[in-house]
């Protein structure tokens, strides 16, 4: 059965006066100290010769419940939002694991291709692996930003065959073209600049690898000219992952079109002031499956949702909302 929208949560979340700026909401959580977690790494070899690294925080040896996190662009198990999720899981005796997108676990992946906003085959490989290890476990999935967009696409593609029992999607760029355009202007362009530098660095590293150099779609000088997500996705992401061009990639992989096909309980959380988004990511009622609960908060930035405390010891709303929805 679909879950009814809990309006109490929408009423409960309010930002303190000092945290009403969306950029502060977005940036502050990424620069403050984060929990120290003893993670166990597992490398999963893939059929194409590449690998995916999983980082586990085990509550017990044969977990009855597993929460799997799909991080955002250039994130990892070291991302503050992931650490906060894993901390609340271990506090409630629930096993959690982070699926690292290819090349995001601290070591570049082996192939010319890497990952993208609609990569669901790697997601399926990880979920199949989790099911093989724990056939009877209840599996929840939490996807952040592009990991959330990919999770929405996965759930819509798989429908009843989904290996996930319940899901939460946070700050997902459900219309990729609109979000790429948003990041080209104003203060939002600062986020783009930082992330593009990380992507350029990885791409340049692959170009120094003799095994990969000849199959890369551009040379080092061309990499330096890529200043926007639109350019990077057109010259790197699209050709390396089988799309005709950036327009084909954005059209096929934007998660909004998959929401009507979701068949498991799913919560989608957005902030209206998210500096990565535009109103185009906000689904209309007819674009939502009856199994999807959608919550649009007036403030919260991008994967921020600071709800109180002080700038040095903020309180976060997001993890409590996720834990409540997943019934952790």
Q: Per residue in 151-168, pLDDT tens? A: 999 999 999 999 999 999
Name the active-site residue from 117, 145, 177, 307: 145
Q: Is 117 a catalytic residue?
A: no
Name the active-site residue from 71, 101, 291, 302: 302
Angle (CA) 21 27 17, round 5°: 30
Output the CA–CA distances (angstroms, integers) from residue 81 to 24, 96, 155, 303, in the order listed.
15, 13, 22, 7
% of the chain at pLDDT higher than 90: 92
Q: What is the pLDDT of residue 86?
A: 97
Name the active-site residue from 96, 274, 289, 307: 274
Minimum mean pLDDT range among 11-20, 177-186, 264-273, 306-315: 11-20
Condensed to tens digits (0 to 9), the pLDDT of residues 80-134 reads: 999 999 999 999 999 999 999 999 999 999 999 999 999 999 999 999 999 999 9
Q: Does domain 7-104+115-175+254-326 have CATH number 3.40.50.1820?
A: yes
Q: What is the pLDDT of residue 61?
A: 75
Confidence check: pLDDT of 4 > 50: no
Q: What is the pLDDT of residue 9?
A: 75
Condensed to tens digits (0 to 9), the pLDDT of residues 187-224 reads: 999 999 999 999 999 999 999 999 999 999 999 999 99
Looking at the DSSP assignment, which residues form a beta bridge with residue 328? none
Q: What is the pLDDT of residue 300?
A: 96
The helix (run of H) or strand (run of E) holding residue 325 is: helix 318-326
For 254-265, the three-class secondary structure string (H helix, E strand, C coil) is CHHHHHHHCCCC
The pTM of this model reads 0.95
Q: Is 116 a catalytic residue?
A: no
Confidence check: pLDDT of 52 > 90: yes
Q: b/e for 223-252, b at 16 or more Cβ within 10 A?
A: beebebbbbbbbbbbbbbbebeebeebbeb
Of the candidates 262, 304, 305, the residue with the CA atom closest to the CA atom of residue 283: 262
Residues 89, 67 contacting (CB under 8 angstroms): yes
Q: Is 58 a catalytic residue?
A: no
Better-predicted residue by pLDDT, 276 or 9: 276
Output the CA–CA distances (angstroms, integers) from residue 317 to 85, 306, 307, in the order listed.
11, 6, 6
Q: What is the pLDDT of residue 78?
A: 96
SS3 call for 56: strand
Confidence check: pLDDT of 3 > 80: no
CA pair distance 232, 280, nearest whole angstrom:
22
Output the CA–CA distances (angstroms, integers) from residue 84 to 17, 88, 275, in the order listed.
23, 6, 22
Give the mean model confidence (pLDDT) for residues 61-68. 91
Q: Where are the domains of the chain?
A: 7-104+115-175+254-326, 176-253
Average pLDDT along the chain: 94
């Amino acid at each position: 059965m679909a879950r009814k929208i809990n309006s109490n949560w929408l009423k409960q979340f309010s930002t303190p006066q000092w945290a009403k700026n969306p950029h502060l909401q977005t940036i502050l959580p990424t620069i403050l100290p984060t929990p120290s977690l003893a993670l166990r790494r597992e490398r999963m070899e893939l059929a194409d010769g590449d690998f995916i690294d999983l980082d586990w925080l085990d509550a017990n040896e044969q977990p009855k419940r597993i929460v799997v996190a799909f991080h955002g662009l250039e994130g990892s198990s070291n991302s503050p939002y992931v650490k906060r999720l894993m901390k609340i899981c271990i506090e409630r005796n629930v096993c959690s694991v982070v699926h690292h997108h290819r090349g995001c676990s601290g070591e570049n992946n082996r192939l010319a291709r890497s990952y993208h906003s609609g990569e669901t085959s790697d997601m399926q490989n990880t979920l199949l692996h989790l099911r093989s290890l724990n056939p009877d476990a209840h599996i929840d999935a939490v996807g952040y930003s592009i990991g959330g967009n990919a999770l929405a696409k996965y759930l819509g593609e798989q429908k009843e065959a989904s290996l996930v029992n319940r899901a939460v999607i946070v700050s997902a760029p459900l219309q990729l073209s609109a979000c790429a355009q948003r990041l080209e202007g104003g203060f939002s362009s600062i986020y783009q600049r930082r992330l593009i530098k990380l992507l350029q660095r990885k791409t340049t590293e692959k170009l120094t690898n003799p095994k990969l150099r000849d199959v890369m779609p551009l040379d080092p000088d061309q990499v330096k000219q890529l200043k926007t997500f639109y350019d990077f996705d057109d010259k790197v992401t699209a050709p390396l992952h089988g799309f005709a061009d950036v327009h084909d990639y954005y059209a096929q992989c934007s998660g909004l079109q998959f929401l009507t096909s979701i068949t498991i309980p799913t919560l989608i959380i957005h902030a209206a002031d998210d500096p990565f988004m535009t109103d185009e990511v906000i689904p209309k009622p007819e674009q939502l499956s009856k199994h999807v609960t959608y919550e649009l908060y007036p403030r919260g930035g991008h994967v921020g949702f600071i709800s109180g405390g002080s700038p040095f010891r903020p309180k976060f709303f997001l993890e409590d909302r996720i834990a409540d929805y997943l019934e952790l």
